[in-house]
Amino acid sequence: MDYKKKFDLSNKTSIVTGGGSGLGKEIARALAQFGSNVVIADIREDQALEAAEEINLNGAKVLAVPVDVSDEEQVIQLVNKTMEQFGKIDVLVNNAGIMQKKGKFEEMSLHEWESVMKVNLNSVFLMSKYVGKEMIKREKGSIINTASISSFIANKEPHCAYNTSKAGIHMMTKSLASEWAEHNIRVNSIAPGYMKTNMTKELMEDKIAVEQIENLIPLKKIGDPSEIAGLAVLLASDASGYTTGSVIPADGGYMTW
């Protein structure tokens, strides 16, 4: 058994939503380094293009596509562009997501609630549906969702909409894994804990808050996006060929207490 080949993503094509920054960008970089063609789908065209140019320096084939992945027509266009460019889709990373504004549940507007669900949950449904149709034709594929430790536990902060959306990803992952196993499509999620990204930039600037959080983490550190990207490569590759329906925490041991 050549285990190095198990991790090889050469001749595969991957779509990474929210791939222009943060976890998505690092995942896209990692997939490309292991040989995959990568489509960076991001609502921010400038970030998508910048990330694509940066990753292209390594010789990978990278396509930047500005898209709102919560819009059905734009999702269809994204899938069509990918098929036109590469002819197939082997890996889908549903990473795009937003955090809600802090505030009490009883003061949250319906608009804010729906906005969080639209980006965090509806986009996973839409992307999985239309990419899944292409994977079903080939009877092969790997879908990787970005969940959260909030898929399992409620944040101390008032983030009910965010937590609910991530719990939804948890169950969608398990349901799709069961439903699409007959098509040899594996569906898994990565559930990051506290990470150093643009989403947590304000938090990272509060040294006291960071220290308090690190004291709750057995590994005593906040995670780096690169530590999620390696896990994404594993789930995208044949090395995890018997893994489906899993929601894998990557939280420094936060949930072991």
pLDDT digits (tens, 9 = 90+) for 56-108: 866 779 999 999 999 999 999 999 999 999 999 999 999 999 988 777 899 99
Residues 232, 27 contacting (CB under 8 angstroms) = yes
Q: Kindly report, residue by residue over 178-209, the tens digit of the pLDDT.
A: 999 999 999 999 999 999 887 766 667 778 88
Cβ atoms of residues 82 and 133 within 8 Å: no
35 Rama sector, left if φ>0, alpha if ψ -120 to 50, beta otherwise: left
pLDDT of residue 213: 87
In angstroms, rounded to a whole number, what is the distance separating the alpha carbons of residues 204 and 200? Answer: 6
- The 10s digit of each residue's pLDDT in 110-150 is 999 999 999 999 999 999 999 999 999 999 999 999 999 99
- Identify whether 254 is a catalytic site residue: no
Q: Is the pTM of this model over 0.75?
A: yes
* 11 exposure class (CB count in 10 Å sphere: 0-12, 13-18, 19+): exposed
Domains and CATH numbers, the chain: 3-250 (3.40.50.720)
Average pLDDT along the chain: 94
- Token pair belonging to 191: 């559930």
User: Could you give the CA distance from residue 213 to residue 21 in angstroms, rounded to a whole number?
Assistant: 23
Tens of pLDDT, residues 23-60 = 999 999 999 999 999 999 999 999 999 999 999 866 77
| pLDDT of 201 | 67
The per-residue pLDDT for range 203-241, each reduced to its tens digit, is 677 788 888 889 999 999 999 999 999 999 999 999 999
Tell me the C-alpha distance between 43 and 177, whole Å: 27
Catalytic residue among 130, 162, 194, 254: 162
The backbone torsions φ and ψ at residue 209, rounded to the nearest 5 degrees and listed phi first, read -65, -40
pLDDT band at 176 (very low <50, low <70, confident <90, very high): very high
